Amino acid sequence: MGFYEDIAEALDRDGIEARVNDSTLFVPITSELEMQFVAIDAPIPAANVYVAVADVTEDDEEFEAALVGAVFSVEDAVEQVAKHVVTDQIVTVLRDILEGTDDRISDLEFTQDHAEPLRVRAEIGDTSELVVTLTTEDNVPAASVEFVTFGDDFEDLLDQVIAEVWGEEADDEGEPLDPDRQQAFNALVQEVAQATQEVLELGTFTDFDTLFDVLAVAQSQARDWEEQLVPLDDGWEEMWDEDWDDDEDEDDDDLADVVIEVVPADDDDDEDDGDDDLDGDDSDDDGDDDAAATRGSTAGR
């Protein structure tokens, strides 16, 4: 019983209720779900961990607790409880979003992502969708929200993808695709979406009441965001590239000027200095020239 008591005290410090009954430690997770710790006869503290529906009588033949793990320390037990509490919170929020039980999102129809079960999407505005992704970090549940809008070219590119996959049968919407073609189609659609989409990050929220407020605001702002959230114009990108190229050219010209103005000057000086050092008679030549000029002047007289 000492192991149970230690677990119960640790859970109590985290604000989680626990009780012992008939050599089993019960920990309520929700009004419908509970965890059960059943001691294992071992030389060390040990217990099997079960998840079960709460308030079920022993005579209920359909009831069966599910073994989900085993713990060998108080810390392991607390960690197991925390994980299941968080899991239940995420499942509850996910269900509320998908079923639209909160009035703030009653007009939104969310669907579950086939590849990511903890991600849901809802069409919003004219050409956009709202994406909610549920995660856990350090046993804290959180929801990240994105507003994703698609460019004007999305529909045209999508039609091209459909024509490429279906070919001449593109108009026959009732014709199912074989698994390989369906996978190829999904991949192409994903590429088109990524090429034309613009994403507005709305934040990550651990307060799920705030989450529903944010979803409501996104619904009311969708069309305004669609108009403002557009990709950079090609002209702007070209201007940016030209400015960058011009800057590089100017830098190159400046460098060239330095090379032209400085390096040749150094070379000429070196050559002159070299001549002075090697000839050693520049002054003599000048003297000879002066003497010749004097003789010429005298001869003329």
| Gyration radius of the chain's alpha carbons | 40
Query: Please, how many CA atoms are within 13 Å of residue 224, restricted to the half-sphere of its CB?
Result: 5
Q: Measuring CA to CA, which residue among 79, 104, 83, 86 is closest to residue 142? A: 86
pLDDT of residue 299: 42
Q: Identify the pLDDT of residue 274.
A: 46
Mean pLDDT comparison of 43-52, 143-152, 224-233, 269-278, highest-scoring range: 43-52
Alpha-carbon distance of 96 to 104, in angstroms, equals 11
Question: What is the percent of the chain where pLDDT is above 90?
Answer: 45
pLDDT score of 32 = 82
- Per-residue pLDDT band at 292 (split at 50, 70, 90): very low
Residue 54 to residue 35: CA distance in whole angstroms: 9
Which pLDDT tens digit goes with each residue over 172-219?
555 666 677 666 666 666 666 666 678 899 999 999 999 999 999 999
pLDDT bin (cut points 50, 70, 90) of residue 30 is confident
Q: What is the pTM of this model?
A: 0.62
pLDDT at 164 over 80: no
What one-character DSSP code corresponds to residue 26? Answer: E
Q: Number of C-alpha atoms within 13 angstroms, CB side, residue 61?
A: 0
- From the centroid of its chain, how far is CA 5? 43
pLDDT band of residue 119 (cuts 50, 70, 90) is very high
The Cα 13–Cα 295 span in angstroms is 120
Q: For 230, how many CA atoms within 13 A lie in the half-sphere containing its CB?
A: 10
The pLDDT value recorded for residue 126 is 86
Average pLDDT over residues 256-279: 46
pLDDT at residue 50 in the model: 95
For the cut 60, the answer to whether the pLDDT of residue 258 exceeds it is no
Q: Mean pLDDT, to the nearest integer, of 131-149?
A: 93
Q: Alpha-carbon distance 255 to 91, whole Å? A: 64
Tokens linked to 235:
């002209």
If you search the block for the tokens 């793990």, which residue do you land on? 69
Averaged pLDDT for residues 78-90: 93
The tens digit of pLDDT for each residue in 212-248 reads 999 999 999 999 998 887 665 544 445 445 555 555 5
